[in-house]
Chains A and B, each alone.
Chain A
Amino acid sequence: MKLILKDLEFGYSSQLILKKISMELRPSEMLGVIGPNGSGKSTLIQCIDGLLKPKNGSILLDGTDIKGISRKEMAKKIGYVPQTSSRSFFPSTVLDAVLMGRRPHLGWRSSGGDVKKAIKVLRLMGIENLAMNDINQLSGGQQQKVLIARALAQESSILLLDEPTSNLDIKHQLEVVEIIREMVAERGISAIMAVHDLNLASKYTDRIIMMKEGRIVDQGVPSDVLTQENIRSVYGVVAEVINNNGGSPHVIPVKSLRHQKIPELGNFPSKISQKEHAKVIA
Chain B
Amino acid sequence: MADSPRKEVSMNLSELEISDEEILNSYQKYMGRKAIFIVFSILVLVLAAGLAGSMGQAKITIWDGYAAFFAKFFPNYFSSSWLAETTIWNLRLPRIALGIIAGISLGIAGCIMQGILKNPLASPYTLGISAGASFGASLAIIGGAGLVGGDYLIIGNAFAFSLLVSLIIIGFAARRGATPETMVLVGIAILYIFSAATTLLQYFGEETAVVQAVFWSVGSLDRASWSKVLIAGSVVALSIPLLMMKSWDMNLLTSGDDSARSLGVNVNRIRIYTMAIISLMVSSIVCFTGTIGFIGLVAPHITRIIIGTDYRYLIPASGIVGAILVVGSDVISRNMIPPIIIPVGVITAFMGGPLFLYLIMKRRMGYF
CA distance A116 to B261 in the complex (A): 24
Contact A129 B256 (CB under 8 A): no
Contact B266 A71 (CB under 8 A): yes
- With A100-B255, A103-B248 in contact, is A128–B261 under 8 Å at CB? no
Closest B residue, CB atoms, query A79: B262
User: Is B47 located at the chain interface by the 8 A CB criterion?
Assistant: no
What are 16 residue pairs bridging A and B, where the CB atoms are less than 8 Å apart in the complex?
Answer: A74-B262, A78-B262, A90-B254, A92-B308, A92-B309, A95-B23, A100-B251, A103-B265, A104-B263, A108-B245, A112-B24, A115-B27, A119-B23, A131-B23, A131-B26, A132-B27
Contact of A82 (CB < 8 Å), options: B252, B259, B312 = B259
Q: Which of A82-113 contact B (CB under 8 A)?
A: 82, 87, 89-93, 95-97, 100-101, 103-104, 106, 108, 112
Q: Is the CB of A103 within 8 A of B245?
A: no
Residues from chain A with Cβ under 8 Å of B366 in the complex = 91, 136
A74:B252 contact, CB within 8 angstroms: no
Looking at the assembled complex, report how far the CB atom of B313 sits from the nearest CB atom of chain A, in whole angstroms: 11
* Chain A neighbourhood of B261, CB < 8 A: 49-51, 71
Interface string of A117-150 (1 = CB under 8 A from B): 0011011000011011000100000000000000
Residues 238 to 286 of chain B near chain A (Cβ within 8 Å): 244-245, 247-249, 251-252, 254-256, 258-259, 261-266
Residue from A50, A96, A154 in contact with B263 in the complex, judged by beta carbons closer than 8 Å: A154
Q: Which A225-278 residues have C-beta < 8 A from chain B? A: none
Interface members, chain B 331-368 (any A CB < 8 Å): 366-367
B27 touches A76 (CB 8 A): no
A46 sits at the interface (CB 8 A): yes
Is there a chain B Cβ closer than 8 Å to A80's Cβ? Answer: yes
**A residues neighboring B (CB under 8 Å):** 46, 49-51, 71-76, 78-80, 82, 87, 89-93, 95-97, 100-101, 103-104, 106, 108, 112, 115-116, 119-120, 122-123, 128-129, 131-132, 136, 154
Q: Which residue of A lies closest to B367 (CB)?
A: A90
Q: What residues of B have a CB within 8 angstroms of the CB of A119 in the complex?
A: 20, 23-24
Q: Is the interface of A mostly helix, strand, loop or mixed?
A: helix
B13 at the interface (CB under 8 A from A): yes
Chain B residues with CB under 8 Å of A78's CB are 262
Q: Give complex CA distance A106, B251 in Å.
A: 13
Name the residue on B nearest A108 (C-beta): B245
Beta-carbon contacts of B158-191 to A below 8 Å, as 1s and 0s? 0000000000000000000000000000000000
Whether B247 contacts A108 by the Cβ 8 Å rule is yes
**Residue contact B252 to A96, C-beta cutoff 8 Å:** no
Q: Is there an interface contact between B258 and A91, defined as CB atoms closer than 8 Å? A: no
Residues of B near A116 (CB, < 8 A) are: 20, 24
Closest to B248 in A: A103
Query: Once bound together, how far apart are the Cα atoms of A92 and B250, in whole Å?
Result: 13
Q: Chain B interface (Cβ within 8 Å of chain A)?
A: 13-14, 16, 18, 20, 23-24, 26-27, 30, 244-245, 247-249, 251-252, 254-256, 258-259, 261-266, 308-310, 312, 366-367
Whether B23 pairs with A72 at a CB distance below 8 angstroms is: no
Check if B245 sits within 8 Å of A80, measured CB to CB.
no
Cα distance A214–B312 when bound, in Å? 43
CB distance from A210 to the nearest CB of B (A): 25
Query: B262–A129 contact, CB under 8 A?
Result: no
CB of B100, distance to nearest CB on chain A (Å): 25
Find chain A residues with CB under 8 A from B249 CB. 103
CB-CB nearest in chain A for B264:
A75
Known contacts A90-B309, A91-B309, A120-B20, then 11 further A-B pairs from the complex at CB < 8 Å, ordered by chain A residue: A79-B262, A80-B262, A90-B254, A93-B27, A95-B23, A100-B251, A103-B252, A115-B24, A116-B20, A129-B14, A131-B18
Given contacts A115-B24, A116-B24, contact A129 B13 (CB under 8 A): yes
CB-CB nearest in chain B for A128: B18
The residues of A that contact B308 with a CB separation of less than 8 Å are 91-92
CB distance from B178 to the nearest CB of A (A): 15
Q: Which residues on the A side are within 8 Å of B310 (C-beta)? A: 92, 96
Are A82 and B265 in touch, CB under 8 angstroms? Answer: no
Instruction: Closest B residue to A120 by CB, please name it.
Output: B20
